[in-house]
Every structure is written in structure tokens, then in C-alpha cells.
Structure 1
Amino acid sequence: MLILTKEDIKKVFTMKDAIEADKEALKIYSKGESVVPLRVNIDIPKYEGQSLFMPAYAEGIDATGIKIVSIFPKNIEMGKPSTPAQMILLDGKTGEVSAIMDGTYLTQLRTGAVQGAATDILATKDAKIAVLFGTGGQASAQLEAMICVRDLDEVRVFDINESRAEEFVEDMKVKLAKYNTRIIAVKDGNEAIKDADIITTVTTSKRPVFNGSLVKKGAHVNGVGAYTPKMQELDEGLIKKADKIYFDTKKGVLAEAGDFIIPMEKGIISNKDFNGELGQVILGEILGRENDDEITLFKTVGIGVLDLVTAHRIYEKAIKSNVGTNIEI
């Protein structure tokens, strides 16, 4: 059994690798070649905690896995992460555990990468300006994914906490220096999006974070952060205005994302306004962007097959590069 830390994963796996893994995962899901049961949530009231178990199986890559994510707010008092996570990867042929890896970093990587996959497929090829809303734990991967798939001149970063945005930008200038993209903090998100080619939101906001009427023709928008029925990063006007709308999984988005649940309940939009899943675009079953004037919109809430395929690819590369710690049990 191979043990892989965050640093081990970084040695063998890039954002580009993760984007390709997510594209494969979306294809597998849209073809109906994966099994993704509902996650199991166990409350731990004694410690005000919760543990979530998220399994998946993909026959085509002979792999099974389960990501375990726990939410224990009091961990911070002990100097421990409040949301520890691990991914357990099993050999689909034998059922043996083949690897255990850092699930927190895996989640950041695959979540950034699924947005990167959508941006690669749906954004205009000559996109030069992007805007990122939110600077939390997912933000760095979201930023890298955008500049990984497009040769961007500038990314504007907005957060309701200005100093946090400035600190994030300074950190990213160092960590993402190899991309040669100008990264700046901005104080007005609405002003920032007016000429933006790509807009990505990764917040937990319960109200829209920008005015959708200001989005220009040809822009591509990624909604990443709103993952409950009460959260709503994207305004209803933008969703109505978008020429084409795609999901990572239609079932997941319409069950979990307030961005779509809220306007559907109001009768502003309906099923006929949705084009389908990104995996269907990759498979050639439905059309993606058809011209440079279309506003395209992608919404993701995540699914276990993204973790599974990404973890399997990481494991394969780690074995090939002799990275990680092998243990016998």
C-alpha cells in the first residue's frame, strides 16, 4: 500500500495532468460507466463534528475509491486542520487498498481542474482577461487552472475582505510566477468583469457576487463555490442571459446548487434552458461553444468519480516515479 502526502503528489502531478484526468472522469460519468452512490454523512455530536464518506467505482480503469472528509471545527483549538480528508484507492481487480493519499489537496486539485476543463473547452481561444471571486482554500487551484488552459494577460482577484485579497495575490505571484500572468487585487468586482473573458466564482455566498447584466458577449463563466440550495453566487439575470449552460452532473447541480434551484423555483428558468453535461461535450454528443459571441456558463458541485480518476492517475504516476512510502499491512 502506497502512502502519498501533499508533497508527494506535487512531485508527480501537475494541474495540466489533473485537467486531463477530470476530462476523462466526466466522460466516464456521462457514458454511464461509473457507480457513484450517495455519500454517507455521520454526525459526531459529542465533538460537534461530522464525517462524510464518498465512494465511487469506474470499471474502465479498474478502480474503486472512497474519500473521507471530516468537519471538526474544534480541531483549530488543537492546532489541527478543521477539515481533514484522505482518499483511499482500491484495486478494482482484487479489492485491495493500493494507496492512501492526502484528500484535502486532492479535492483542491480536482475542483480547480474541473473548472479548468470547462474553461479549456468553452472559453474563447483568445481569452486574455479573467476575474476570480473568492480567496479561500479552493482559490489557488482555481486561479492556476484558468491560467493553465489560456495564455492570460491578467487575472483580477476580488474578495469581500480587501486585505485578504491582497495577501492572496502576493502569495500567488510567487507560487504561480512560471505562468507570467499579471495577478492583481481589485476593489470593485462589477467593474472588473465588464471586459473579462473568463469569470470564476468560488465563494460560499448566499447572494450573487456580481451583476450578471455586465457580463460581456463571448465571456465564459464558471460557478464553483455554491454547493447548497441556499447558496447563490450567480445572479438570475446572468443565468437567463447565458446562451449555453453546462453542468459537471445535471443531477448533482439541480439537487444541490442554489444558483439553479432558486431561479427554477421562481419559474425564471427551466430544464429546457440547460444544454447538458460537460462530459457530453467532450464525447461529441452535444455542441459546446459555436461562436465568439456566445456567453457560456458552467456549474459544478463535484462528484466522487472526479476524485477517483484523479487519484488513480496520481497513483500510476507515483508508482512510475517511485514516489511515496510503501507499507505492508
Structure 2
Amino acid sequence: MELNQILSVSGGGAAPDGTTLLLSDDEVRRSCDMAAMVDAIEAALGDAPGPQLAMPPRSNLAVEGTFFRVMPAITSRAGVLGLKMLHGSFERGVRYLVVLCDIETGAVTSVLDAAYLTAARTGATAGLATRHLAREDAATVGVIGAGLEAETNLAAVAAVRKIQSVKVFSPRSLRREAFAERMAAELDIEVVPVDTAQAAVAAMDVVVVATNTGSGGPVALRGEWIEPGQHIVSIGSTTPSLREIDVPTFTRADAVVFDAPADAVASESGDVLAWRELDGEAVSAVPTVTELLRAEVPGRRRADDVTVFKSIGAATQDLAGAVAVCERARALKIGTEVRSVAVLKTF
């Protein structure tokens, strides 16, 4: 059975009548299968807005140093409606939550801690973009960054290509060395720490940039380092003040793809804002991964093309990833079933 058929009949990982599945961050981690999540998100993002998908712009609120973001969506193919919410600050930390509801009954089927889920679905989305944009023979990866998002993005790339070796750079030597040891064991491939970001990029087929340079921080990847044939994944600049890649990284590319509409990405990513200031028409013309999946725009045309995938995240990714996690959690009997958290009120 095809994945979209599985999703359409599963009811989004439907719970037994009258119950809600609760999953902690650790339980989400144990229930996450990256290859399955890549497939689930690809199926979800293949739907253009319309009968199968409704996703309004996310709501961003802020008061006294605390931000609050709400990202709702309805995905008919997966049989769910729901939302992701996150709140906090970069100084104190951020909390993430996903709520899934069954479309037919309205029952709250699942409530998930979405801290790891957010990193996993970010990686999975980059994985599906890599599946469609990187060279088929891509076998090496350069990683700039050594945190959780770098881990999940590397794991997703390894799920869609036969990766043989990896180079990783982080400004802190202990972090990059620990990352190399950890991911070599997890993926059973060679992972080598290097001393500079440029060294992590040189001669690599895929380059993953997953950094936290901080508000107003320096870029981590420069377009002048990019080599013919490379596929670039960038996921770190998700607010106007955050920078990760420079404008020449975009202008050097033969194809650039976003995971959300160009106006949404440009309003939230400092990297894309900088590009838009120089060439607003070019930014407005960047297609989404949905258009790529639906063959409405070309991707890689030649082996020596440079391709760039820029991601800020979207509720469809969160819901599709949550459905995949909940399906596996129930199969593995992971999590806690409680009486439905929201009773039905009739009129």
C-alpha cells in the first residue's frame, strides 16, 4: 500500500474511542523512524493548498521578551487537523507542543512534546528536498553545525542517499568531535571533524548548514566556497535577525527551492531578507518544494548544477511528522493513553 493510502485510512494514528495518546520528548525520539518520516512529509507536501490542505499564515505574538507562535493546518489526506505551538525566548529556551485531532470526529487523538519532533521533521523535509535536488550519486556530506538539527538533517540525508563519508565543523572543537563520534556510531559511516567551515564544504556532494549563530551573528557559509554540483541545505535562519548563509550562496545557485511561499520565507529569514533587499524579483520567483514535487518547476538539470534548499518550517511538516510518530508509537506500545482531553459539546 502506498504511503498516501496508509495516511488516508489511518485517521492520523487514530486512538481508541475516547482516548488521547500523550508522548513525551523521549517517547517521540523512540518512536521516530527517519526514513518513514521523510516519506510521510513528502506525501503531505505533495498537496497544493485546496481540498486536501488548508494552512493559513502562522501567528506570531510577543510580549515582554517572550514570543508565541501558533501554526495550524488541516491535512485531509492524513485525516487530521491540528496545530503546533511554541513559546519562550532564545535566552530562556523554547517549549514546543503539537496537538492532533481526527477530522471526522473532532477527537483529540494525540498530544506530543514537539522539541525533538521539530528537529526531526526539519531534517526529514531537508531529506526529501535532497532526494529530488541532489545528484543521484551523492555520497559525501559536509555539515556546518554540531547540534540536534545538524544530527537530524544528516540522518535524513543519509536516509535518501548512500552516504559514505562526512566532514563536520563547529567553532567548538569538543562539540564537533563529539558529533563525529556520535553520528559515526549511529549511521555506521566515517565522520571526520575539521577545523574550518570551508574545509567542511570542500569536495562534498551535499552541504548541510544547521547553525545557531545568534541574533545578528556572522554567516556560516559563503557562496565563494561552493563548488559545481553541490546541493546546499540551510535551516538555521528562521527569524529576521538570524543569519546563516550569505546572498552569493543564493545567487551562485542554478536552482533555489523554499519549503514555504517566498513571501513567508522572506518575512522570517534574515538570509532571505538580505537577498530580497538586493533582488526582490528573484526572491519572489523562488518555487516551493510542493511545486517541485508536483513537477511544476524544474529542479536539478545538470550534474554540475548548484542547488539550494532553504527551510523555515511549516505546520504541514509538523502534522505529517507527528502522524508518522504516533503510528509507530502505537505499534510499539509507547506513550500513555488517557481519557479524551476535550469532551464533545453539542448544540
* Pair in the same fold by TM > 0.5: yes
Q: Which residue of 2 aligns with 1:64?
A: 81
One-letter identity of the residue aligned with 2:72: P
Q: Which residue of 2 aligns with 1:190?
A: 198
CA distance in 2, matches of 1:213, 1:73: 30
Q: Does 1:34 align with 2:46?
A: no
CA distance in 2, matches of 1:217, 1:131: 14
Q: Does 1:15 align with 2:34?
A: yes
CA distance in 2, matches of 1:10, 1:73: 23
Q: Which residue of 2 aligns with 1:261?
A: 273
Normalising by structure 1, report the TM-score: 0.88
Q: CA deviation at 1:273?
A: 8.1
Q: Which residue of 2 aligns with 1:199?
A: 207
CA distance in 1, matches of 2:27, 2:327: 13
| 1:228–1:272 Cα change, 3 Å | closer
Note the residue ranges of structure 1 that are not aligned, 5 or more in a row. Answer: 76-81
Contact 2:31 2:326 in 1 (8 A): no
Contact 2:266 2:276 in 1 (8 A): no
CA distance in 2, matches of 1:311, 1:158: 30
Q: Which residue of 1 aligns with 2:188?
A: 180
Q: Which residue of 1 aligns with 2:13?
A: none
Q: CA deviation at 1:30?
A: 5.6
Q: 2:320 aligns with which of 309, 320, 325?
A: 309
Q: Secondary structure at the match of 1:327?
A: strand
Contact 1:147 1:181 in 2 (8 A): no
Q: Which residue of 2 aligns with 1:158?
A: 169
CA distance in 2, matches of 1:126, 1:60: 32
Q: Does 1:148 align with 2:148?
A: no
Residues 293-318 of structure 1: per-residue CA shift (max 9 Å, x gap)? 11111111011111011112322333
| 1:23–1:117 Cα change, 3 Å | same
| 1:236–1:272 Cα change, 3 Å | closer
**Aligned ranges 1:280-319 → 2 under 5 Å:** 280-319=291-330
Q: Which residue of 1 aligns with 2:6?
A: none
CA distance in 2, matches of 1:186, 1:99: 42
Contact 2:260 2:288 in 1 (8 A): yes
Aligned length: 317
Q: 2:139 aligns with which of 122, 128, 136?
A: 128
| 1:231–1:152 Cα change, 3 Å | same
Residues 208-237 of structure 1: per-residue CA shift (max 9 Å, x gap)? 213312211111001111112232322222
Residues 48-73 of structure 1: per-residue CA shift (max 9 Å, x gap)? 54443222111232211122222167
One-letter identity of the residue aligned with 1:245: V
Q: Which residue of 2 aligns with 1:226?
A: 237
One-letter identity of the residue aligned with 1:230: S
Contact 2:143 2:200 in 1 (8 A): no
Q: CA deviation at 1:320?
A: 4.1
CA RMSD of aligned residues (A): 2.3
CA distance in 2, matches of 1:109, 1:266: 33
Quick check: which one's helix share is greater? 1
Contact 1:2 1:325 in 2 (8 A): yes
Contact 1:131 1:200 in 2 (8 A): yes
One-letter identity of the residue aligned with 2:76: E
Normalising by structure 2, report the TM-score: 0.84
Q: CA deviation at 1:264?
A: 1.9
| 1:94–1:145 Cα change, 3 Å | same
Q: 2:108 aligns with which of 97, 121, 133?
A: 97
One-letter identity of the residue aligned with 1:316: E
**Aligned ranges 1:267-282 → 2 under 5 Å:** 267=279, 270-271=281-282, 274-282=285-293
Q: CA deviation at 1:153?
A: 1.8
One-letter identity of the residue aligned with 1:23: E
| 1:68–1:238 Cα change, 3 Å | closer
